[in-house]
Amino acid sequence: MPRSRPNNRHIAMLSVHSSPLGRLGSRDTGGMSVYVCSLATELGRRGYRVDVFTRHPEGRNGPAVTRLSANVRLIELKAGENGYSHPAELYPHLGSFFESMEHFRAGESLRYDLVHSHYWLSGQVGALAQREWGVPHAIMFHTLGARKNGAMPPEEEPNLRLQTEERLVRTCHRIVAATPREGRDLERLYGADPERIRVVPCGVDLELFRPLDRELSRRALGFSPHEAIVLFVGRFSPIKGLERLLEAAGLLGDHPRLRLVLVGGEGAGAPAPRELAQRIAELGIDGLTRFAGQVTHQRLPEYYSAADVLVVPSHYESFGLVTLEALACGTPVVSTAVGVMEQIILPGETGCVPSGGSPAAFAECIRGVLLDGARGTPEARARAREKVLEFSWSRVASAIIDQYTELIGTF
Ligand code: UDP
């Protein structure tokens, strides 16, 4: 049984622009917040003391200290004013954010053993800590600016981000990549030294995400037992490819019982709700589409269990947590070949990866899964879940602790 008694290791975890307590499915709060929260909780359980530093969501002067779980604290500090249109606007405030961190550290006479930063903005603060505190610095980028700009449709990540990521790749001590694909991207796009990269996959809460009774879940959510439910879970950012799912649903319009359920909400560059509703009407799928809004993790297992299939139409994912969550609930996934997908989506068993990724290819894959009645059986759902049992947060934490131990040992 992991220990919760503090050991003598103290980790500064940086998640500057996105709070682990933020509302999941909103603009800056998604997989990274889940990751930071879950990893910190597991580390705390094993006796590591973890301080997670984030910007105060209302731009208030800090520090505000909250206990997140055993041995884990959230420390909110000021970085810029309330409200910004792009995370890069926080960049000029990162120096003063680090000064506040240093003030907090000195005030409590702490000595951190390692800094673990998440996303490029935190990486910049982590680089200051690395220099000023003389500690090892591990970074996880979660997404790469150069990769987003190369996606179709391309995002417009600023040069500042690309340059910062390139510099951090050279100067940090360890880069944690979520998939081998992300490792290759780091080498190809930023010339990262493969010696510095370690691949540690993300995790899923296997206790929470488990197959629930389909009929009861549908009843609880107000869906009919006869509908063919196609589910999307995520932020409505263009990079999530919602448009191609909508088009695919349009092509499936002849399916007599189709129901499209969209979980999530505003994302960077997301279409306004009115535009989205208009597009859905143009495609003739307004009658079969239901917006569920942002849903908490506690309630998501019901959605996954009620669905016949989860669709991940993303143009880019660094990993793709929702796929793990759906499979842990026994629900097959149709997804583009992004992030971890080809590793865990086994055609004919746990879903389908449409070749080429056109709306027509998605429609065909979705139709194939819906027609395969065998997939919904309790046995098939248990087999789907088996495929992701190795992705527990406990295993993620063990792999990350190996990295910490190695890095701290070299200092
Ligand atoms: N999520 C949620 N409620 C929502 C929308 C999303 O809890 O309404 C969660 C989802 O369950 C997953 C995370 O947000 O844990 C999204 O992670 P993913 O890796 O799929 O995408 P990212 O946000 O990192 O791009």
**pLDDT per residue over 195-207, tens digit each?**
999 999 999 999 9
3-state secondary structure of 183: helix
Residue of the nearest CA to atom 17 in ligand 1?
A: 31
Calpha distance 385→210 (Å, rounded):
8
∠ at Cα 357 (355, 363), nearest 5°?
95
Q: 125: which 2 tokens?
A: 């603060």
3-state secondary structure of 159: helix
Question: What ligand 1 atom has the least distance to the C-alpha of 325?
Answer: 11
Residue 56 Cβ contacting ligand 1 at under 6 Å: no
In Å, the largest CA–CA distance within the chain is 67
Backbone angles phi, psi at 102, to 5 degrees: -65, -40
Q: Give pLDDT tens digits for 346-357.
A: 988 899 999 988
Question: What ligand 1 atom has the least distance to the C-alpha of 25?
Answer: 5
Contact (Cβ atoms closer than 8 angstroms) between residue 172 and residue 137: yes
Report which residue type is found at 131: R
Residue 234 Cβ contacting ligand 1 at under 6 Å: yes
Strand bridging mode 64-69 / 72-77: antiparallel
Ligand 1: distance of its center to the CA of 233 in Å?
7
Question: What ligand 1 atom has the least distance to the C-alpha of 32?
Answer: 24
∠ at Cα 280 (277, 281), nearest 5°?
85
Calpha distance 219→224 (Å, rounded):
7
User: Which of 17, 19, 24, when mutated, tests ligand 1's pocket best, judged by the most ligand atoms within 8 Å of its CB?
Assistant: 24
Is pLDDT above 50 for 1? Answer: no
Ligand 1: distance of its center to the CA of 22 in Å?
12
Residue 22 Cβ contacting ligand 1 at under 6 Å: no
Q: Provide the mean pLDDT of the chain.
A: 93
Question: What ligand 1 atom has the least distance to the C-alpha of 263?
Answer: 8
Confidence of residue 5 (pLDDT cuts 50, 70, 90): low
In three-state form (DSSP H/G/I as H, E/B as E, the rest C), the secondary structure along 6-74 is CCCCEEEEECCCCCCCCCCCECCECHHHHHHHHHHHHHHHCCCEEEEEEECCCCCCCCEEEEEECCEEE
- First and final C-alpha spacing in the chain: 29
Q: Give pLDDT tens digits for 30-76.
A: 899 999 999 999 999 999 999 999 998 777 777 999 999 999 999 99
Strand bridging mode 289-293 / 309-312: unpaired
Residue 322 Cβ contacting ligand 1 at under 6 Å: yes
pLDDT at 267: 67
Query: What pTM was estimated for this model as a whole?
Result: 0.95
Residue 329 Cβ contacting ligand 1 at under 6 Å: no
pLDDT at 365: 96
Q: Which residues pair with 174 in a beta bridge?
A: 138
Residue 34 Cβ contacting ligand 1 at under 6 Å: yes
Contact (Cβ atoms closer than 8 angstroms) between residue 202 and residue 178: yes
pLDDT at 25: 65
Residue of the nearest CA to atom 23 in ligand 1?
A: 30
Q: What is the CATH number of domain 6-203+392-408?
A: 3.40.50.2000
| Chain region(s) in the chain for CATH 3.40.50.2000 | 6-203+392-408, 214-391
Ligand 1: distance of its center to the CA of 191 in Å?
30
pLDDT winner (highest mean) among 22-36, 140-154, 370-384: 140-154
Confidence of residue 21 (pLDDT cuts 50, 70, 90): confident
Residue 325 Cβ contacting ligand 1 at under 6 Å: yes
Fold (topology level) of 214-391: Rossmann fold (3.40.50)
Residue 316 Cβ contacting ligand 1 at under 6 Å: no
Question: What ligand 1 atom has the least distance to the C-alpha of 312?
Answer: 20
Residue of the nearest CA to atom 22 in ligand 1?
A: 31
Is pLDDT above 60 for 85? Answer: yes
Q: Give pLDDT tens digits for 224-276.
A: 999 999 999 998 888 999 999 999 999 998 888 999 999 998 766 667 778 88
Distances (CA, A) of 183 to 32, 140, 320: 17, 11, 15
Residue 319 Cβ contacting ligand 1 at under 6 Å: yes
Residue 313 Cβ contacting ligand 1 at under 6 Å: no
